[in-house]
Structure 1
Amino acid sequence: MLETLRERLLSVQQDFTSGLKTLSDKSREAKVKGKPRTAPRLPKYSAGLELLSRYEDAWAALHRRAKECADAGELVDSEVVMLSAHWEKKRTSLNELQGQLQQLPALLQDLESLMASLAHLETSFEEVENHLLHLEDLCGQCELERHKQAQAQHLESYKKSKRKELEAFKAERYLLKP
């Protein structure tokens, strides 16, 4: 787009300079044609009028072309402003994307560190689970031992009570036998 703008401006400049060059060449030709005259003549007003008319037409054409170029320049300027705003937005977005992409390696490293931590936690959880199962087994064994001891004590107390009953029964029998 900028290239076409540049081409247009160059073409307008060339047209303008060629128009000025044409006018100056015609002016020189008129001066050169007028110098060889040595004999005084009566001025020809129609020739001056024709020359003035040519200059007026050339200046009017130059003015018209300059106005057209100015209008085209304004149009190109508005397009350049719109394109500049559009590409400025794109550049801002690209800078943001570039910033985010620059943060990507750190994010990946953090993610890998997090995955390693999770693997370590998983191992720790399995270890704790195994220890809990072992503790549960130990608690079951302790409870079984307590139950066995309680049963043993109960059995021992039962045996004692039965021995006492037996002794009491023997003593009663011994006393009854005369």
Structure 2
Amino acid sequence: MLSSIKDKLLNVTKTVPLFSTNSDRGHVQCEVNSNAGSEILSHYQAEWQALHNQSEQNAKKAEEAATEIAKITNKIERDKKSLSVMTHLLAHSNLNLNLVNCTKQIEKLYDSFREVEEELVQLEDLIETVEFENMKKQHRYHLQQYKVRKEESLKAFEASLKEKHEKAVAEFDLKKKKELEERQQVFHEAFKSDLEIYKNSGTIPKLDLPKKQPSALLEEIQVDFDESELDQFLSK
């Protein structure tokens, strides 16, 4: 800044001869520059304006800093009061005893929770046992129902076999009766023939009788009974 002032002064001295001799006064005409010093004035005005703006900014920042300091001070005061209250409570109250009691209560609650958890495990085991017994009862019930159905089916099958047997016996008796009638007819005719032969020759010829066929018995009938349905039910 001093160098700029020096330059301005040199410029002014070159323009206006302030230090001239008496011999030169008559020969040199004095010329006055009306704008001399305006640049210096403008420069200082600009500097002053910058300083003024900087001062305003500093004032605003100072206010903000003062506000923050006040907030911090209030917070410190509140913390100090809280610390004083806590110190007073710790020194003159039963806080430690209450903390010990709370710790004991928490331990009791923990023991209670553990007992409840063990009881829940036992309850789950009991529920599984009951469900297993119910499942066994259901299987027994289904097995009993299956036996009843099979007994009914067996009775129906026996009745059907009995009916077929009676029908077969009736047919066999009818067939046997017819055979007997045919045999009687044959014997009657043979008797007549033998009688004629005896009358003519005086001898009786030997008669070849057919062999008797054994009759079918109910105990000898083989019944095919499929047990796959029972095995499939028992394997479930």
TM-score by length of structure 2 reads: 0.36
Return the index of the structure with the highest Cα Rg.
Answer: 2
TM-score w.r.t. the length of structure 1 is 0.47
- Greater length-normalized contact order (CA 8 Å, ≥ 6 residues apart): 1
